[in-house]
């Protein structure tokens, strides 16, 4: 709602209104209240119609550096620690690229420039990584529109690269080779990834006191720099084999804060994304074991794939993976081609 006010009697009338999350005060340029009321009605109509810049308020040319700094602060305040770290890494890459190209203002970002950026990113990254860069930059520019810094998102129609849906699962032989070449810490990492389907960030920030052997549960909850995905605390059940492994490795000290993190050996707090340390060490292991095209997240895929192959209902798999959306789980559904056949075989009328 817009309102009229005067700063001093007999002076110009001002309009006070809220737009795009900002409180705006604008002079009508007149001391005549009736003329000011006409201007007020114009503003109210523009606000009702959702026009981007009431009173002809156009955004100033915003510098890339200032905009990226503001978005980084926004990301830090609103996103999980892991997501913010990923954002920070990509923002620095994008900002460095724009600096080399001499792009200093948001208005200089164009679809043509994004095509050149795509070619640059694909030199050292795959298509999925490029899509992550593109999606982040789109989100940033959408926020720029919301903040009134630009009139529209210049790259909203830029399409992500098509990626074939292919999920990597480890064979029994590959898993045996991984275990055969793993040291004690990496074996425990494999155990938790393959028997509990834990994510990289969950493994990295897992503390011994998050493991409840009596209740046979692993608690995933926020603490310190860690915020669970989707900002939701969760519990992961521990099966009998994993329970025996954890009972044998659980520290015997009463003061678990001295050995706070299960994988403290791999902690790299100075890294831009410290959780990436686990992926690096897993890659070293896979290379040593002769397991090709292997990533730590493939353990989670293997966990889900085995559940489906064992006949676990897809909704149960969703809960065990802690997916917020069933669509994320459906990529594993095709692993049980006989499931539909089995379902109709049981029909009796």
Catalytic residues: 199, 229, 297, 300, 323, 332
Helices (H), the chain: 33-48, 64-78, 81-101, 111-121, 127-146, 172-181, 184-196, 200-204, 240-249, 276-289, 297-309, 314-321, 326-329, 339-345
Q: How many CB atoms lie within 10 A of CB 101?
A: 13
- Nearest alpha carbon to residue 174 among 302, 280, 307, 304: 302
Q: How far apart are CA 296 and CA 200, in angstroms?
A: 7
Q: How far apart are CA 281 and CA 226, in angstroms?
A: 20
Whole-Å CA distances, 156 to 39, 99, 159, 226, 267: 33, 22, 8, 32, 38
Q: How far apart are CA 305 and CA 301, in angstroms?
A: 6
- Cβ contacts of 224 within 8 Å, gap of 6 or more: 205
């Amino acid at each position: 709602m817009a309102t009229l006010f005067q700063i001093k009697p007999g002076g110009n009338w001002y309009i006070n209104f809220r737009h795009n999350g900002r409180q705006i005060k604008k002079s009508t340029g007149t001391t005549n209240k009736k003329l000011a009321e006409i201007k007020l009605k114009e503003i109210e109509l523009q606000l009702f119609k959702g026009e981007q810049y009431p009173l002809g308020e156009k955004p100033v040319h915003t510098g890339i550096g200032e905009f990226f700094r503001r978005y980084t602060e926004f990301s830090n305040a609103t996103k999980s620690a892991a997501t913010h770290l990923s954002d920070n890494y990509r923002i620095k890459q994008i900002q460095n690229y724009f600096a080399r190209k001499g792009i200093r203002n948001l208005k200089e970002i164009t679809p043509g420039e994004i095509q050149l950026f795509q070619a640059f990113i694909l030199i050292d990254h795959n298509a999925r990584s490029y899509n992550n860069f593109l999606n982040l930059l789109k989100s940033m520019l959408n926020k720029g529109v919301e903040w009134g810094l630009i009139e529209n998102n210049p790259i909203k129609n830029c399409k992500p690269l098509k990626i074939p849906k292919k999920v990597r699962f480890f064979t029994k032989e590959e898993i045996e080779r991984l275990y055969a070449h793993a040291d004690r810490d990496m074996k425990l990492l494999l155990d938790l990834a393959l028997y509990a389907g834990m994510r990289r960030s969950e493994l990295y920030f897992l503390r011994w006191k998050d493991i409840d052997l009596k209740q046979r549960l692993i608690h995933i909850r926020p603490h310190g720099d860690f915020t669970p995905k989707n900002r939701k605390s969760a519990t992961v059940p521990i099966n009998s084999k994993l329970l025996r492994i954890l009972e044998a490795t659980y520290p015997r000290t009463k003061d678990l804060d001295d050995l706070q993190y299960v994988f403290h050996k791999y902690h790299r707090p100075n890294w831009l994304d410290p959780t990436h340390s686990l992926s690096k060490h897993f890659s070293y292991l896979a290379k040593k074991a002769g397991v090709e095209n292997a990533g730590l997240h493939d353990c989670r895929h293997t966990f889900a794939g085995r559940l489906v192959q064992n006949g676990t209902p897809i909704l149960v798999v969703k809960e065990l993976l802690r997916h917020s959306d069933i669509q994320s789980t459906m990529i594993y559904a095709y692993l049980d081609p006989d499931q539909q056949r089995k379902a109709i075989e049981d029909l009796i009328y």
